[in-house]
Homo-oligomer: A and B are copies of this chain.
Amino acid sequence: MASHQKNVGILAMEIYFPPTCIRQEVLEAHDGASKGKYTIGLGQDCMAFCTEVEDVISMSLTAVTSLLEKYGVDPKQIGRLEVGSETVIDKSKSIKTFLMQIFEETGNTDIEGVDSTNACYDGTAALFNCVNWVESSSWDGCYGLVVCTDSAVYAEGPARPTGGAAAIAMLIGPDAPIAFESKFRGSHMSHAYDFYKPNLASEYPVVDGKLSQTCYLMALDSCYTRFCQKYEKLEGKQFSIDDADYFVFHSPYNKLVQKSFARLWFDDFLRNASSVDEAAKQKLAPFSTLTGDESYQSRDLEKAAQQVSKPSYDAKVVPATLIPKQVGNMYTASIYAAFASLIHNKHSSLAGQRVLMFSYGSGLAATMFSFRLRGGQLPFTLSNIANVMNVGEKLKTRHEFPPEKFVKTMKLMEHRYGGKDFVTSKDCSLLAPGTYYLTEVDSMYRRFYAKKAGANTTSTACENGLHANGH
C-alpha cells in the first residue's frame, strides 16, 4: 500500500555556477561574428564555464554540501539521492557515488538512487523519480535529494556561445512550497538525432541546430496538447495560457524560449482558447492553414506570434530568464536555473500561483508539468530559498575572462577530457569559500578533490581533501 503524502515537491534549492565567465558581446567581437549575433540572435548576455579546477563532480559536491549546511539538514536525514547529468566522466561509475563521500562520513550509506541519462532531460527524470519515491510504499520518511550538474562545452564555431555550466541541488519531501500537480503531466518521447554524443573520446556533441530547434518545438506542441487534454478531463474546462501565472522553459539559449512561448500562443489560437483576443486572432489568422511542418519553418508566423505574445511574455516568462541568460545553457540544470530565477525575482508574491514547466532533452525526451506554489514553513519557504540561493550576489562577484584566456582554458579542458595522471594548478583564488575543486587525476584515473576553506560554516571535515578510495 502506498503512503498518503500531500503536496510532495521541492522543499529547498541551492544553485552553484562557476565564478568564471565571458560576456557574449566580447566573445561575439572576438569570433568576428556580426554585432548582436550572440546577444540578440541567441538572446544571451554572458556564459559561465569551468576552468581546470572545476568539473561536474566538484560543482555538485559544492551544491549539495551548501544546501545541507544552509538549510540545517543533517546528512543522516537523506534517504534518496539522484543525479541528472549528461556530462560523462566515467561510463559506469555514477556521479552519485562521488557524492556519497559527504554521507559516508556520517555513517549514512542507506541512500537509494543513481544517475539518470538522457541529455538535458535527466534532471527532470531524477526529480520525478524522487517525488514518486516519497509517494510510494517504500518511502522511509527521509528526504530525497536531486542534483542536476552539467558543463556544456562546444567545439569552436557557431555553437560555442551556447555553452554554460552549473549545478543545482533540490531537497524533496511532503508539504513542500513547490508542490507538484502530478495529474496534469504531458510527455513526448521519440527517436531523434538532433543532438547526441556518439564520439566517446570527445566532450563535444554532434549537433544539428536547425533540426534540434524543430524537435524542441514539435515536442512542445505535443506535450502542451497532452497537458491540456489531461487538465480538461480532470477540471472539466479548457486550459489556456491564462490558467498559468508563469512559464519556465528549458533554455539552450533565450531566443528559443521566446519562440516557444510564442508557439504556445499559436497553439492556443488554433485551439480557440480564451487567452487569445480578437486583435491577436486577426494577426495569426493568415497562418491557420499551414501544415505542421510549414508552421515550424515560417519566419512570418514566428514574428507575428512573438509580437502578439510580447506583453504576456514580459509578464509570465521574463522573470524566469535571468540565470540562463547570464550563465548560459546548463543542460540538466537549465530549466531549474530558470525556475530559480523566478523565485529570485518574485518570491514574495508567488504563493498560490501556478507555474508551467517545459523540460526537453535531445534524443528526445520532453515533459510539460506544473507546480502549485505555497507559502511553506521555515526554513522551507520561497523567500528563504531566494535568500539561500543569493543569485544577485553570485552573479555580481564573477570574474570576466578576456576571450584569449577563455579560448586557452577551453583548449586545456579539451586536452584534459578523459585524461589521467595529471595534477591541476590547485588555484582556487577565484572560487568562493566552501567551493570544492579538482586537485589531481592519478594514473588509475582516480579523481581527488579539496574544499576551499573559510565558508561561513562550522564544517571542516572535508577541508583536507576528499580522497579516492575503495574501502
Contact = CB atoms under 8 A, between A and B. Distances in A.
Interface of A: 1-6, 8, 81, 86, 88-94, 96-98, 100-101, 104, 109-119, 121-122, 125, 128-129, 131-133, 135-138, 180, 182-183, 185-201, 205-206, 208, 211, 214-215, 222, 226, 361-365, 367, 418, 420, 444-446, 468-471
B91 A200 contact: yes
A215 B470 contact: yes
A193 B114 contact: no
Given A182-B137, A215-B470, A193 B100 contact: no
Contact of A197 (B1, B92, B468): B92
A470 B114 contact: no
7 contacts: A89-B198, A90-B198, A92-B119, A97-B189, A114-B116, A114-B122, A200-B200
Nearest to A5: B2
A215 B445 CA distance: 19
A192 to B, nearest CB: 4
B363 A206 contact: no
A194 B93 CA distance: 10
Nearest to A114: B118
Report, nearest first, the 10 A-B pairs whose CB atoms are least far apart. A198-B445, A93-B363, A91-B197, A94-B118, A114-B118, A138-B182, A132-B136, A92-B197, A2-B2, A132-B132
A93 B197 contact: yes
Given A135-B132, A445-B196, A111 B187 contact: yes
A450 to B, nearest CB: 15
Contacts of A96: 118, 189, 365
A109 B188 contact: yes
A110 B196 contact: no
Given A86-B91, A97-B190, 15 more contacts: A91-B198, A91-B200, A92-B119, A92-B363, A93-B118, A97-B191, A101-B191, A109-B190, A110-B189, A114-B116, A116-B116, A138-B180, A191-B468, A198-B420, A201-B201
A451 to B, nearest CB: 15
Contact of A138 (B121, B185, B446): B185
B196 A92 contact: yes
Given A135-B135, A446-B193, A187 B110 contact: yes
A423 B208 CA distance: 23
Instruction: Pick the most buried of A104, A192, A200: most chain B CB atoms within 10 A of its CB.
Output: A200
A77 B1 CA distance: 23
A433 B113 CA distance: 37
B200 A109 contact: no
